Structure 1
């Protein structure tokens, strides 16, 4: 089968494309290579996908392009059996500065794909949504019945995109699923995320910087658990038309996370605190019981296990990855 992965040179999309190729599928990756962060990381993702294809029965093709181009998207989808839509303009804080760009890419781009997939009649459309759709918690952990009141333009754009996907599933009898990711981390992650910054700074003798008092909590989800949830949807149709949480086994205070990384890598360094950004969520924590019931999702990595794996990977790949993190 042929699988189209949009945003496939990015962090999650890159890992997802590799997994599909390794499993013997024919994968087409599209990415516009926007320099939101250093493009060398995306180039590594593309190179890794090609290397996996050389060692497996799958194939890998990279195409540079933008999901905002409707004609381009229609041509892309023409040969696809499944579409995994990971392309998006990321970043809660930057979305405050340019909300219209987030609408154009995250909402308009998703609609282009939905229209093309509906007209083509693909097997399934799986899109990346976000825990940012929830906004200020009325209770924790978030279940899918929790009100969706995003506090950032990024969160609003992801909510609009997933609602379009689920409405297409309803009115066009179209197989679409939205996965609400909770703070994904792991090898080749975006360099401006908390875990990568904490690890980089501690390894180099710099103090971790915490925004706010550090009492904010996050449900960090290791990349391998995210990939397993996506792969399940090649065969499982019970989630069609649904938005479901994909999170981890626990959550942790940002301050505690920084301290644990500091204690492991540079125990003599003091933490540094700076002003909190208004668009940042105060708490996130996923109730994943719906995902367990529908697609048998069972995350395997605690935050401490996942961070240990990331630190090990970081040390092995420090030569090429570290400068990109430290310059962010």
Structure 2
């Protein structure tokens, strides 16, 4: 199958491209290499994807460009069977500083993908959305009927992209699915996330920094489970037109997560605290009943197990992945 992965040199997109290429598919990766974090990690994702294609019998092609380039998007979508739209400007805090940029990438880029797909004969557009669309919880866990009142431009942009996907399905009959990811983590994740910050600081003998009281909770989802959910949509069309939560089965307090990382690396370290950004969510927790029913999604790794695996992976890949080592 011909598969286009936008944002395919990033964390989630990179894992998707690797998995599809390894399974023998023909994969095209579109990425603009936005320097939001060390681009060496993105280059590494590309190398892994190419190696996966060689071992699995698929093809891997990198196209450097942006989803904001409508002509380029139209050309690539016209050659593909299914689009996994992962490209976006990430970062809740970044979005507060640069809302126009977030709208350009996350909304206008999405519209370019949808317009191109509407004019082409493709199987489906799978849109990467976010738990940030929910905002402040009225109840937990979130189900898909929960109010969507985002508290950041990032969350608003993701909700807008979702709504456009729904409208293109209803008005034009374009098969679309939006997956609301809940804090994805795992190998090759962005280095500016809480887990990577905790691990890196502890490995360098520095106290992990918790923003706020640490009582806020997160539903962390292992990257392998995200890949599984997306892979099911290669053939399963039962979710067309739908939006679904893709999370784990539990959540954890941030202070507990920091302590678990600290205890695994250097129990002598103290936990440090700093002020919390007002756009950061207080709590997240996914109700995954809909995804379980429609596509048979079942998460495999709890954060308490997954963080230990991530620490092991981090140690093994320390020389090329750790941000302080890369800067030196």
Q: Which residue of 2 aligns with 1:189?
A: 189
Q: What SS does the corresponding residue of 1:95 show, helix, strand or coil?
A: helix
Q: Which residue of 1 aligns with 2:76?
A: 76
Q: Which residue of 2 aligns with 1:243?
A: 243
Listed one character per residue, the Cα deviations across residues 132-181 of structure 1 (whole Å, up to 9, x for unaligned) are: 00000000000000000000000000000011001111111111000000
Q: Find the aligned partners of 2:105 and 2:81 in 1 and give their Cα distance.
A: 23
Q: How far does residue 126 in structure 1 lie from its aligned partner after superposition?
A: 0.2
Q: Which residue of 2 aligns with 1:274?
A: 274
Q: Which residue of 2 aligns with 1:121?
A: 121
Structure 1: gaps (5+ residues): none
Q: What SS does the corresponding residue of 1:299 show, helix, strand or coil?
A: coil
Contact 2:5/2:29 (8 A) holds in 1: yes
Listed one character per residue, the Cα deviations across residues 242-273 of structure 1 (whole Å, up to 9, x for unaligned) are: 11000012100000000111111110100000
Contact 1:5/1:84 (8 A) holds in 2: yes
Would you say 1:47 and 2:42 are equivalent positions? Answer: no
Q: Find the aligned partners of 1:324 and 1:108 in 2 and give their Cα distance.
A: 35
Q: Find the aligned partners of 2:237 and 2:48 in 1 and give their Cα distance.
A: 30
Q: Find the aligned partners of 1:124 and 1:107 in 2 and give their Cα distance.
A: 18
Contact 1:92/1:155 (8 A) holds in 2: yes
Q: What SS does the corresponding residue of 1:54 show, helix, strand or coil?
A: helix
Contact 1:197/1:326 (8 A) holds in 2: no
- List aligned pairs for 1:171-320, cutoff 5 A: 171-320=171-320
Q: TM-score, normalised by structure 1?
A: 0.98
Would you say 1:29 and 2:29 are equivalent positions? Answer: yes
Q: Which residue of 1 aligns with 2:151?
A: 151
Contact 2:30/2:63 (8 A) holds in 1: yes
Q: How far does residue 298 in structure 1 lie from its aligned partner after superposition?
A: 0.3
Listed one character per residue, the Cα deviations across residues 105-156 of structure 1 (whole Å, up to 9, x for unaligned) are: 1000000000000110210100100000000000000000000000000000
Q: How far does residue 325 in structure 1 lie from its aligned partner after superposition?
A: 8.0
Q: Find the aligned partners of 1:287 and 1:56 in 2 and give their Cα distance.
A: 35
Q: Which residue of 2 aligns with 1:6?
A: 6
Q: TM-score, normalised by structure 2?
A: 0.98
Q: Find the aligned partners of 1:103 and 1:161 in 2 and give their Cα distance.
A: 10
Q: How far does residue 96 in structure 1 lie from its aligned partner after superposition?
A: 0.4
Q: Find the aligned partners of 2:40 and 2:308 in 1 and give their Cα distance.
A: 24
Q: Find the aligned partners of 1:270 and 1:135 in 2 and give their Cα distance.
A: 31
Q: How far does residue 323 in structure 1 lie from its aligned partner after superposition?
A: 2.7
The structure-2 alpha-carbon separation of the partners of 1:325 and 1:244, relative to structure 1 and needing over 3 Å to count, comes to farther
Q: Find the aligned partners of 1:78 and 1:245 in 2 and give their Cα distance.
A: 29
Contact 2:191/2:323 (8 A) holds in 1: no
Q: Find the aligned partners of 1:238 and 1:170 in 2 and give their Cα distance.
A: 15
Q: What SS does the corresponding residue of 1:177 show, helix, strand or coil?
A: strand
For structure 1, which segment, 46-55 or 206-215, has the greater mean C-alpha deviation from structure 2 after superposition? 46-55
Contact 2:4/2:29 (8 A) holds in 1: yes
Deviating 4+ runs (over 2 angstroms):
323-327
